[in-house]
Every structure is written in structure tokens, then in C-alpha cells.
Amino acid sequence: MNNKLYLRILLVLSMINGAVSAVVYLTVSAFMPHFREAYASLPELVPEQMTTMMERMLELPRMFYAAWGVLYALSFVGCVLMWKLRRSGFHCYALAQLLVLLLPLLFIGKGFFGLGDLMMTALFLLIYYLLLKRVREEEGEAQGEESN
């Protein structure tokens, strides 16, 4: 397989992640008051093991979920731009993903930061950087050959 195909496969996975996450978090933000009411009126429907986690999630402000949704939408836009081989797409994606990592630190605190998340983000950024660079170089060489 060539570099462009690898790039496209990863971009499709990241676009799915960005689009689904944006829709989910923006929906949660929009309906958070209803979720809080439902939980308050029917707490017995939530299994005991999930009660603490559910209560913590419901305590977070709507802005947290809205910001996460917007950042994932920005990540999706970055993927679309990278699909078009734009360097700005990588910067957009990188900024969004780094802010996605930092947002919980602002709202929740240090206990929510995951080293695994940081490592996966760094790995994807490195792979995207290298593949985008190589594909852009290959495309440039192909265009140079066509003009000769």
C-alpha cells in the first residue's frame, strides 16, 4: 500500500471519531438539564457501580460538553483539510486534539488526565505529520513530472 492510502485510512477513522464525538458531546450539552432531571427522578435505574461516575458526569457544567463537542468538530475539520493535503489541516487537528486532552484538566482536575490518551494522541500526530509530509512530497514530484 502507498502512503496516500495509509493516510486516507487513518483520516477516515479520525473523521468518524470526530463526527460521532462532536454529535454526542453537543447533544449531551444541549440536553444536560433533562439528563439531570431524569437521574434525579429515577436514580434507581442506574446500577450502583455507575452511581458515582454518573453523578460526577452530571455535575460538570454544560460548557464542558459543548467545548468538547466543538473541539471534536474542529478535529473533524482538520481531517477534511488533511484529506485535501493541506498543512493547515494538520495544525487544526493537532490543536483540537491537544485541547481535548487539556479540557478535562481545566474542569475536573489532574485525576482525569490519562497518560495513555497522551501517548495515543502523540502517536497519531506523529503518524499524520510523517504521512502528510510524504504524500505532499509525492504529489509535488508527480506534478513536477507532469509539467516536464
In the structure, what pLDDT confidence band is assigned to residue 14 with cuts at 50, 70 and 90?
very high
Q: Considering only residues 112 and 17, tell me which one the structure prediction assigns the higher pLDDT.
A: 17
For 51-75, the pLDDT digits (tens) are: 676 777 777 888 999 999 999 999 9
High-pLDDT (> 90) share of the chain, % = 57
Q: pTM (2 decimals)?
A: 0.84
For position 107, what pLDDT does the model report? 79
Angle, CA of 112, 97 and 26, to the nearest 5°: 80
Task: Please say whether the beta carbons of 97 and 61 come within 8 A.
Answer: no
Q: Which three cell numbers stand for residue 68?
A: 468538547
Q: In the chain, where are the structural domains located?
A: 3-28+62-139
pLDDT interval class at 95 (50, 70, 90): very high
Q: What is the pLDDT of residue 148?
A: 43
Tell which residue, 70, 92, 96, has the closest CA to residue 83. 92
